[in-house]
Structure formats: structure tokens, C-alpha cells
């Protein structure tokens, strides 16, 4: 919420991840809570699937997984693809990733951590190429220039409208 507010995304900050209070997510989160990683990972390891994550990603537009759909090509083939995200949700995704890294890493957190995490996972999921470039740009500014520069950069992107 605090990071969204810094970007002027007040409504998104207030509504961020409210689905976590639904029984489908809250009960699983309480059951699989560990404090050092997402409870969704623990649920997935224990049962083979995270029903909390499936619920969550389908209701929160700051997750690129929300913006995926299948595309039927002219030759009849079908591909699962990422759709281009509006910049305000990419900005919220940036905030979410920074906050998650801070929580899970604690004192080991650095401004490079969200970028490094993104780079390790990049290419394993269908994120729209332009969305990926924008998110990586935001995370790289954080890594190379620090938090103040990153938030200033993102505020400019929001004004440009992507």
C-alpha cells in the first residue's frame, strides 16, 4: 500500500490483495505460512497445486498471470500468451515484488533483489514482451539507481500512459 501511495495509485494501494482475506486464500495462507516464502509455494509442494494462488491471480490485476489467455492462430494452433498490461498494473506489480522481497529476505534485502528474482524467473511464464520490458526497466532502475530514482521513473511512466 505504501509503495502504491508513493506512486499516486491510492485506490490500488487500498484495494491491493484484498482477496487474501477471502476464505479461499486466507485459510490456505494461515495453514501454509512459513514467514520466509509465500505460503502458496508450501501449499503447492504439499498438494501439487496452490488453490489459493489460482484464486488470487484470477482476481488481482497486478499479477501478469491475470493477463493471460489463449490465442487461436490463423493456422488453427492454440498458444497460451500474455496480454499487454496497463502501466498502472505494471507499477503495482513492481511495488508488490519489492514488498515481497523485503518481507521474505528481511535484512538480506538489497535494491538488486527484486531484479535478480525477476531475471531468474524470466522466460518461464507467458508475460507479454512489452510488459516484461517495462517491468525489467523499472526493476533495473531500482537496482542501479536506488528506490527514489525508481519511483520517480515509474511516476514519469504513469504520466506518459505507456
Q: pLDDT tens digit string along 84-138?
A: 999 999 999 999 999 999 998 999 999 999 999 999 988 888 899 999 999 999 9
pLDDT confidence of residue 48: 97
Strand partners for 78: 72
Strand partners for 110: none
Residue 48 placed within a domain = no
Q: pLDDT tens digit string along 51-95?
A: 999 999 999 999 999 999 998 999 999 999 999 999 999 999 999
To the question of pTM greater than 0.85 for the whole model, the response is yes
Asked whether residue 37 carries a pLDDT value surpassing 90, the answer given is: no
Residue 46 placed within a domain = no
pLDDT confidence of residue 162: 62
Asked whether residue 16 carries a pLDDT value surpassing 70, the answer given is: yes
Give the domain range for residue 91: 62-160
- The chain-wide mean pLDDT, for the chain, equals 95
Name which of 56, 59, 116, 62 is nearest 89 in CA terms. Answer: 62
DSSP-derived secondary structure for 76-122: S-EEEEEPPPPHHHHHHHHHHHHHHHHHHHGGG--TTHHHHHHHHHT
pLDDT confidence of residue 82: 94
pLDDT confidence of residue 64: 96
Residues 6+ apart with CB under 8 A from 121: none
Q: How many CA atoms are closer than 13 Å to the CA of 45, on its beta-carbon side?
A: 9
Domains in the chain: how many in total? 1
Residue 54 placed within a domain = no
Residue 50 placed within a domain = no
Residue 53 placed within a domain = no
Amino acid at each position: 500500500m505504501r509503495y502504491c501511495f508513493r506512486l499516486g495509485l491510492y485506490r490500488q494501494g487500498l484495494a491491493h490483495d484484498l482477496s487474501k482475506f477471502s476464505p479461499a486464500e486466507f485459510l490456505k495462507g494461515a495453514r501454509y505460512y512459513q514467514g520466509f516464502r509465500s505460503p502458496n509455494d508450501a501449499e503447492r509442494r504439499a498438494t501439487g497445486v496452490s488453490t489459493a494462488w489460482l484464486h488470487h491471480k484470477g482476481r488481482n490485476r497486478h499479477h501478469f498471470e491475470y493477463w493471460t489467455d489463449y490465442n487461436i492462430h490463423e493456422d488453427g494452433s492454440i498458444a497460451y500468451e500474455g496480454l499487454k498490461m496497463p502501466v498502472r498494473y505494471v507499477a503495482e506489480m513492481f511495488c508488490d515484488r519489492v514488498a515481497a522481497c523485503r518481507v521474505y529476505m528481511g535484512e538480506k534485502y538489497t535494491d538488486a533483489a527484486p531484479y535478480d528474482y525477476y531475471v531468474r524467473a524470466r522466460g518461464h511464464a507467458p508475460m507479454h514482451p512489452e510488459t516484461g520490458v517495462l517491468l525489467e526497466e523499472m526493476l533495473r532502475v531500482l537496482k542501479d539507481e536506488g528506490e527514489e530514482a525508481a519511483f520517480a521513473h515509474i511516476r514519469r511512466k504513469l504520466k506518459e500512459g505507456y
